Amino acid sequence: MENEFKYEDYKKTAEWLLSHTELRPQIAVICGSGLGGLANRVTQRQAFDYTEIPNFPQSTVPGHAGRLVFGYLNDKCCVMMQGRFHMYEGYPLWKVAFPVRVFQLMHVHTLIVTNAAGGLNPEYEVGDIMLIRDHINLPGLCGQNPLRGANEDRFGVRFPPMSDAYDRILRQKAHGVWKQMDQERPLHEGTYVMVGGPNYETIAECRFLQRMGADAVGMSTVPEVIVARHCGLRVFGFSLITNKSILDYETHETANHEEVLMAGHQAAKKLEQFVCILVESMPPPLEKTF
């Protein structure tokens, strides 16, 4: 489905938010399943339910609170989404990524995307973190793209490149933060593949995705990243490995959402510390790519 909203609709939402808070965020964070606790660490906190915000979609997934939280992580002003939107909820992809353009109009310069993902790489264990170096947009290869339809030149160019979607400097800085935290497990870098969901993948599908070069699989993130890069935002992303994808026909294990939320809860303190230190040391972007 092509975008039903005009530039003015995004602007109306941004102006409503700016008129209801004196906080002016530089960094936006999208919290994945079970990862919304990070928003509880901000100071000078001000929260809005999605139902209050003009034009905002509603989150329907367990583990997603459905709030937009403004505040400070150390000395950096941030806005955090406690709950994102998904293709499998019935939303067209342009609406899934709707908040990202609102953030850009609020003069946010950096987007941090987080998600819960299944580990396809055999070296990954539950609780590991994978920095997203690249992604495979499986719905996009089939024509489902948040930029489908007429291009809005005030946001970005018709054909935005994605070869540099995930900021190299921020990934390098993240490795330094991880060493500073002195964690036992390594900090991985890999490729995230997006599937439509809501069902978890079959064994044959997991094997196919692994052979495509994917290290982790999930049902989110890519639409927001595409729209963020389209409108010139710098992007940093990571996946929390909350389950190991099933690759063996002899196993009796199955993936389930409760397992995902539990893994997120167990890793919460580590993740919150990781993001807080990274945000504190995050330099401003050198310049917009386009």
Give me the CATH number covering residue 96.
3.40.50.1580
Residue 287: φ, ψ to 5°: -170, 160
265 belongs to a structural domain: yes
C-alpha to C-alpha distance for 192 and 239, rounded to whole angstroms? 8
DSSP state of 276: H
Q: Determine the pLDDT at residue 59.
A: 79
Structural contact between residues 108 and 57, judged by C-beta atoms closer than 8 angstroms: no
290 belongs to a structural domain: no
| Catalytically active residues, by annotation | 33, 64, 86, 88-89, 116, 219-220, 243, 257
Q: What is the mean pLDDT of residues 62-66?
A: 71
For the cut 60, the answer to whether the pLDDT of residue 111 exceeds it is yes
How many Cα neighbours within 13 Å face the side chain of 276? 18
Contacts of 41 (CB under 8 A, 6+ apart): 73, 272, 276
Domain span holding position 160? 7-280
111 belongs to a structural domain: yes
C-alpha to C-alpha distance for 139 and 92, rounded to whole angstroms? 12
C-alpha to C-alpha distance for 156 and 167, rounded to whole angstroms? 18
Q: What is the mean pLDDT of residues 13-28?
A: 98
- H/E stretch holding 8: helix 7-20
Please give the angle made by the CA atoms of 64, 189 and 207, to the nearest 5 degrees: 80
116 belongs to a structural domain: yes
C-alpha to C-alpha distance for 166 and 193, rounded to whole angstroms? 14
17 belongs to a structural domain: yes
How much is the CA Rg of the chain, to the nearest whole Å? Answer: 18
Least confident stretch, 130-139, 186-195, 247-256: 247-256
Q: Determine the pLDDT at residue 237.
A: 97
Angle at which helices 7-20 and 98-105 pack, to 10 degrees? 60
69 belongs to a structural domain: yes
pLDDT digits (tens, 9 = 90+) for 136-185: 999 999 999 999 999 999 999 999 999 999 999 999 999 999 999 999 99
164 belongs to a structural domain: yes
3-state secondary structure of 220: coil
Within a 10 A sphere around the Cβ of 50, how many other Cβ atoms?
Answer: 19
286 belongs to a structural domain: no
How many Cα neighbours within 13 Å face the side chain of 243? 21
Contacts of 230 (CB under 8 A, 6+ apart): 147, 155, 156, 157, 160
Q: How many domains does the chain have?
A: 1
Confidence of residue 64 (pLDDT cuts 50, 70, 90): low
Q: What is the mean pLDDT of residues 237-262?
A: 85
Token pair 């935290």 in the structure block, residue: 181
Q: In whole numbers, what is the pLDDT of the chain averaged over residues?
A: 92
